Structure 1
Amino acid sequence: MEKALMNLDIRTILFLGAVLLSLQIIPLVLLFVLTNQYKGINHWLVGHTLVSLGYFLLVFRGAISDFFSIIIANILITAGYSFSLQGISCFTEQKFPRYWILALNSIFWGIHFHFTYIIHSLSLRIINISWISFIISVFSASQLLNNRDKRLLISSRFTAIIFLLHSSLTLARIIITVNHELPNSLFALNLDGFQVFYFMACFINSFLITTGFITMVCQRLYQDLNTLAECDFLTNTLNRRAIEHQMDREIAYCQRENRKIALILLDIDRFKSINDNYGHDSGDLVLQHFTQTLNFIIRQEDLLGRWGGEEFLIVSRVDSVEDAVVLAERLRSAIQNEKVIVHHTIITYTVSLGVAVYGVHGQTKQELIIAADRALYHAKNSGRNQVAIAQHYH
Structure 2
Amino acid sequence: MDPLTAFAIAALMMLLNGGVLGILHRDLPEALRPSAVSWRIGTLLQAGGCVLLTVQRQLPPAFLLPVANFFLILGITCYWRALRQFYGLPDKPLIYLPLVVAVPGMWWFVAVTPSLSARLWIAAIVWAVIMFNCSQVLRISPRIDRAVSRRVLIAIFTVVAAFMVLRAVLFMLSPSPGSSIIDHTWLNMITPMVASILPVTGTTAYLLLCSERIRRQWEHAATTDYLTGLVNRRIIATTGSQRVSQAREHGKVFGVALVDIDYFKTINDRYGHDIGDLALKHVAARIERSCKAEDLAGRQGGEEFVVLLTRDDITQVLAFGEKVRQSVRSAPFPANGTDLTICVSIGIATLTPADKQFDDLLRRADQALYSAKALGRDRVMAEFGHDVAKSA
Structures share fold, TM-score greater than 0.5:
yes
* Residue 389 (str. 1) matches residue 374 (str. 2): no
In structure 2, give the amino acid aligned to 1:282: I
Q: Distance in 1 between matches of 2:335 and 2:381?
A: 31
1:1-394, aligned counterparts within 5 Å? 8-35=1-28, 36-38=30-32, 39-66=34-61, 69-94=64-89, 98-99=93-94, 101-152=95-146, 154-180=148-174, 181-190=176-185, 193-359=186-352, 362-392=355-385
Q: Distance in 2 between matches of 1:115 and 1:272?
A: 76
Q: Distance in 2 between matches of 1:55 and 1:353?
A: 68
In structure 2, give the amino acid aligned to 1:235: T
Q: By how many angstroms is 1:285 displaced?
A: 1.3
Q: TM-score, normalised by structure 1?
A: 0.91
Q: By how many angstroms is 1:144 displaced?
A: 1.2
Query: Secondary structure of 1:49's match?
Result: helix
Q: Distance in 2 between matches of 1:197 and 1:255?
A: 63
Question: Which consecutive residues of structure 1, in runs of 5 or more, have no partner in the other structure?
Answer: 1-7
Q: Distance in 2 between matches of 1:360 and 1:388?
A: 21
The residue that corresponds to 1:4 in the other structure is: none
In structure 2, give the amino acid aligned to 1:79: L
Once the two structures are superposed, residues 282-315 of structure 1 have per-residue CA deviations (whole angstroms, 9 ceiling, x without a partner) of: 1111111111111111112211111111011011
Tell me whether 289-298 or 330-339 shows the greater mean CA deviation: 330-339
Q: TM-score, normalised by structure 2?
A: 0.91
In structure 2, give the amino acid aligned to 1:248: S
In structure 2, give the amino acid aligned to 1:114: W
In structure 1, give the amino acid aligned to 2:136: S
Q: Are the structure 2 counterparts of residues 185 and 94 from structure 1 closer, same or farther at C-alpha, using a change threshold of 3 Å?
A: same
Q: Distance in 2 between matches of 1:151 and 1:255?
A: 34
Tell me whether 196-205 or 337-346 shows the greater mean CA deviation: 196-205
In structure 2, give the amino acid aligned to 1:253: Q
Once the two structures are superposed, residues 220-265 of structure 1 have per-residue CA deviations (whole angstroms, 9 ceiling, x without a partner) of: 1111111111111111111112221221222232243333321111
Q: Distance in 2 between matches of 1:249 and 1:150?
A: 25
Q: Are the structure 2 counterparts of residues 22 and 70 from structure 1 closer, same or farther at C-alpha, using a change threshold of 3 Å?
A: same
Q: Distance in 1 between matches of 2:254 and 2:79?
A: 49
- Are the aligned partners of 2:182 and 2:188 in contact in 1 as well (CA < 8 Å)? no
Q: By how many angstroms is 1:360 displaced?
A: 5.5
- Are the aligned partners of 1:360 and 1:392 in contact in 2 as well (CA < 8 Å)? no
The residue that corresponds to 2:390 in the other structure is: none
Q: Are the structure 2 counterparts of residues 280 and 94 from structure 1 closer, same or farther at C-alpha, using a change threshold of 3 Å?
A: closer
Quote the RMSD (CA, aligned, Å).
2.1
- Are the aligned partners of 1:152 and 1:216 in contact in 2 as well (CA < 8 Å)? no
Q: Distance in 2 between matches of 1:270 and 1:307?
A: 17
Query: Secondary structure of 1:322's match?
Result: helix
Q: Distance in 1 between matches of 2:180 and 2:139?
A: 38
Query: Secondary structure of 2:47's match?
Result: helix
Once the two structures are superposed, residues 305-346 of structure 1 have per-residue CA deviations (whole angstroms, 9 ceiling, x without a partner) of: 111110110111122222211111111122222221122112
Q: Distance in 2 between matches of 1:57 and 1:68?
A: 11
In structure 2, give the amino acid aligned to 1:337: S
- Are the aligned partners of 1:361 and 1:393 in contact in 2 as well (CA < 8 Å)? no
Q: Distance in 1 between matches of 2:189 and 2:129?
A: 21
In structure 1, give the amino acid aligned to 2:360: E
The residue that corresponds to 1:3 in the other structure is: none
The residue that corresponds to 1:5 in the other structure is: none
Percent identity between matched residues is 24
Tell me whether 341-350 or 151-160 shows the greater mean CA deviation: 151-160
Tell me whether 321-330 or 76-85 shows the greater mean CA deviation: 321-330
- Are the aligned partners of 1:166 and 1:205 in contact in 2 as well (CA < 8 Å)? yes
Once the two structures are superposed, residues 357-382 of structure 1 have per-residue CA deviations (whole angstroms, 9 ceiling, x without a partner) of: 12366231111111111111111111
Q: By how many angstroms is 1:97 displaced?
A: 5.1
- Are the aligned partners of 1:260 and 1:359 in contact in 2 as well (CA < 8 Å)? no
In structure 1, give the amino acid aligned to 2:179: N
